Structure 1
Amino acid sequence: MSETAETFETIRYTADVVVTTTDGHVLLIERGWDPHKGAWALPGGHVDPGETSRTAAARELAEEAGVYAAPEELTQVGVWDQPDRDPRGRYVTVAYHLEVLPGTPIEAGDDATRARWWPLNDLPPLAFDHAAILSTVL
């Protein structure tokens, strides 16, 4: 009798946040590291051990863009789990939305080199599948 060994793929768990203003802008950060170094992306990152994706989303938003929101203020918009969505391997992200008032201050920090409000009708190319995540919110 032959034994069949099961193999499991390493899956990394992340959270991203789409922050929009009531006057039609979205918060993007410029990535300071590879992959996609120098590209614009949604704020987000890895979910830490013992943390929910919603809590991670709020933490990453504060760390990368200086925007502070309570986790319960974030509305889940979906899960993105395409096997090829990240060149580093298999990443599954839960995305959230937060709407804020125009003029909400932002400040790049942590892994972001810049943070900027972009008009929704004039966006730069986005890293990963962040354009698809953004289009779900819009």
Structure 2
Amino acid sequence: MSETETFETIRYTADVVIIDTDRNVLLIERGWDPFEGHWALAGGHVDPGETSRAAAARELEEETGVRVLAEDLRQVGVWDAPGRDPRGRYVTVAYLAVVPAGTPAVAGDDARTVSWWPLDALPSRLAFDHSEVLAAAITAAA
């Protein structure tokens, strides 16, 4: 008897939770589907030959103009639940960094806009499972 294995395509991504010293978090407003118009963490696909940590630093700078060194990013966790992204199976490694209050941010790349949000007044429309990622990062930052 032979068994047939089936495999699904899995996309590898990195997300970044950036909190400033005044306890605000930097979010981007998505300018494309899925979740167009929703707020999200900066992040994106890991390029071939790149680590998720390096991808997180790169995506943060591309989407917000905020630059942090990859080695200053602290891993928060891995999110891999089936169905977390309507486009297919995505596995993301999330990172955390703390930056000085008043760090300027400018929308770039795929972001419609960027904004600093107080941790106690987050927008109600967060994309994907980013509310879970944020909760884990806030706990890790405490």
TM over 0.5: yes
Structure 2 residue 57 is matched with structure 1 residue 58: yes
Number of residue equivalences: 137
Give the secondary structure class of the aligned counterpart of 1:84: coil
Matches within 5 A, 1:1-138: 2-125=1-124, 126-138=126-138
Give the secondary structure class of the aligned counterpart of 1:136: helix
Letter in 2 for 1:52: T
Q: Residue deviations 1:70-102, cap 9 Å, x none?
A: 100100010000001000010000000010011
Task: Spell out structure 1 runs of 4+ moving beyond 6 A.
Answer: none
Structure 1: gaps of 5 or more residues = none
Residue 6 (structure 1) shift? 0.9
| Paired-residue identity, % | 67
The two structures, once aligned, show a CA RMSD in angstroms of 0.7
Give the secondary structure class of the aligned counterpart of 2:83: coil
Letter in 2 for 1:104: T
TM-score of the superposed pair, with normalisation by structure 1: 0.97
Give the secondary structure class of the aligned counterpart of 2:56: helix
TM-score of the superposed pair, with normalisation by structure 2: 0.95
Letter in 1 for 2:27: L
Give the secondary structure class of the aligned counterpart of 1:106: coil
Q: Residue deviations 1:15-38, cap 9 Å, x none?
A: 000000111100000001100011
- Output the CA distance in 2 between the equivalents of 1:92 and 1:137: 17
Letter in 2 for 1:111: D
Letter in 2 for 1:100: V
Give the secondary structure class of the aligned counterpart of 2:136: helix
